[in-house]
Structure 1
Amino acid sequence: MLYPMNVRIRDRDVVVIGGGKVAHRKVLGLLDAGAKVKVVSPELTSDLLSLADADRISWHPTSYEEKDLEGALLIIAATNDHDTNLAVKMDAAPHQLVNLADDPAESDFQVPSFMKRGRLTIAVSTSGASPILAKKICTQLEQTFDEQYDSYLEFLAACRKKIISSVKDGTVKKQLLMAITDSSFLESDEREGRFAALLEEAIKEEGQ
């Protein structure tokens, strides 16, 4: 059983063992999250080499050794040799989390397929049963949660701050937070004005 969570890895050390296409995909996701990525591999794909030349990743052009794992929060074993990937798992310290790209069942964590719309992130996992199906589901979700959710999430975030700072009654806060998630706010061109009126009315009622 997996425990789903979002992990903040900005400026944290992550090690990727392997320099192929799978490693490249993993590295891109890690860089998007702001991680400090070290790649250990005698050779790199041209895309990874470009990242190394641009100093976006640290490249150690050697075969894997246990010392390569020192200081890493997360470790991804993405070589084309299963025995090497298992060795990485065995060498990791108890506090380090390891993902084996070719063996989800033996991994401490799995990287799900996901879609993003601004602040909205939806992750889909089949627990390793079918990554292809997970990607298909994400494609369907992208059609449901289209580009309008970018601005809508920014609106919700701003409203939440105002509600928390302006309204004292817990029940009223919850009612307002629920109200702005109604689909009519998502589709409205005047949602800021509608929210301002709702908030003003709630504050007036509290003051009576």
Structure 2
Amino acid sequence: MAYIPLMFDFTNKIIKIFGGGMIAERRVKALLESEAIIQIISPNITSRLKELHNSNRIHWINKEFDSGDIQNEDFIIVATGNEAVNQKIRKLTPDHTLINMTNEAESGNVIFPGTLNRGKLSISVSSNGASPKLVSQILNNLNEQFPPDYEAYVDFLYHCRCTIKNLEIEKEQKQQLLEEIISDKYLDSNHQLQFTKWLDTQNSMRAREE
């Protein structure tokens, strides 16, 4: 399989997960903020998945799999723990449908990478099944390089970019400002505040001129 990394918008898309164990729970955790419609088909689910169902964040259909369960899903995740059932689901899934085979990743067309999230920043790592331990090691290194408070810096960059785009200055000047704020200097919250105040001043001047 020739896998390539992509970012998907699953808003209002139907994701159907077959199986309700710990692997299914991990998949739900990865997808929960995607605003997708997540459905689980399984006679049993974990206590955490039951909590999410009771709070209407996911939909649980308490039953065993049958062929009529595959209809118009955008994405299917197979995690039943029963190899025969898993393979049956794989064979019944249309070729154009995205499918993640949790027991045998290479037989599907979607792999879940290891991911580090810092607000709007997402860093994903995959070894295409070569070494999950290597992926974990790299993620641990990234966690040290980009600690949780890095999210505030990413939010600062986003705010600045939106403001700079609307400034009445030359394109080259905008690029210079955007390059300036990715320097290590602006990892410091005081420098972030100073730059944000300067941008607000520029916007105020523009508003008065109009």
TM-score range, shorter chain: 0.7 to 0.9
For 2:111, give the aligned amino acid: Q
Counterpart in the other structure of 1:206: none
What is the identity percentage for the equivalent residue pairs of Structure 1 and Structure 2? Answer: 29
Stretches of structure 1 lacking an aligned partner (at least 5 in a row): 204-208
8 Å CA contact retained: 2:77, 2:100? yes
Moved more, 190-199 or 170-179: 190-199
- Equivalent residue pairs, number: 202
Deviation of 1:195 (Å): 5.8
- In 2, Cα distance between equivalents of 1:112 and 1:61: 29
8 Å CA contact retained: 2:19, 2:78? yes
Moved more, 48-57 or 147-156: 48-57
For 2:39, give the aligned amino acid: K
Give SS of 1:127's match: coil
Give SS of 2:94's match: coil
For 1:136, give the aligned amino acid: Q
Aligned counterparts, 1:61-140, within 5 A: 61-140=62-141
Deviation of 1:17 (Å): 0.5
Deviation of 1:173 (Å): 2.0
Give SS of 1:64's match: coil
- In 1, Cα distance between equivalents of 2:165 and 2:138: 35
- In 2, Cα distance between equivalents of 1:37 and 1:124: 24
Q: Deviations over 1:111-142 (max 9, x none)?
A: 11111112211111111222232122212211
Counterpart in the other structure of 1:157: 158
For 2:18, give the aligned amino acid: I
TM-score normalised by L of structure 2: 0.86
Deviation of 1:76 (Å): 0.2
Stretches of structure 2 lacking an aligned partner (at least 5 in a row): 206-210
Q: Does 1:141 align with 2:134?
A: no
C-alpha RMSD of the superposition = 2.2
Deviation of 1:196 (Å): 5.5
8 Å CA contact retained: 2:185, 2:191? no
Give SS of 2:122's match: strand
For 1:53, give the aligned amino acid: N
TM-score normalised by L of structure 1: 0.87
Give SS of 2:39's match: strand
Give SS of 2:147's match: coil
Counterpart in the other structure of 1:47: 48
Cα distance change on mapping 1:55 and 1:162 into 2, 3 Å: closer
- In 2, Cα distance between equivalents of 1:68 and 1:87: 12
8 Å CA contact retained: 1:167, 1:173? no
Which aligned segments of 4 or more residues in structure 1 are displaced greater than 4 angstroms?
195-200
8 Å CA contact retained: 1:12, 1:73? yes
Deviation of 1:188 (Å): 4.9
Q: Deviations over 1:9-29 (max 9, x none)?
A: 122210000111111111222
Deviation of 1:81 (Å): 1.8
For 1:23, give the aligned amino acid: A
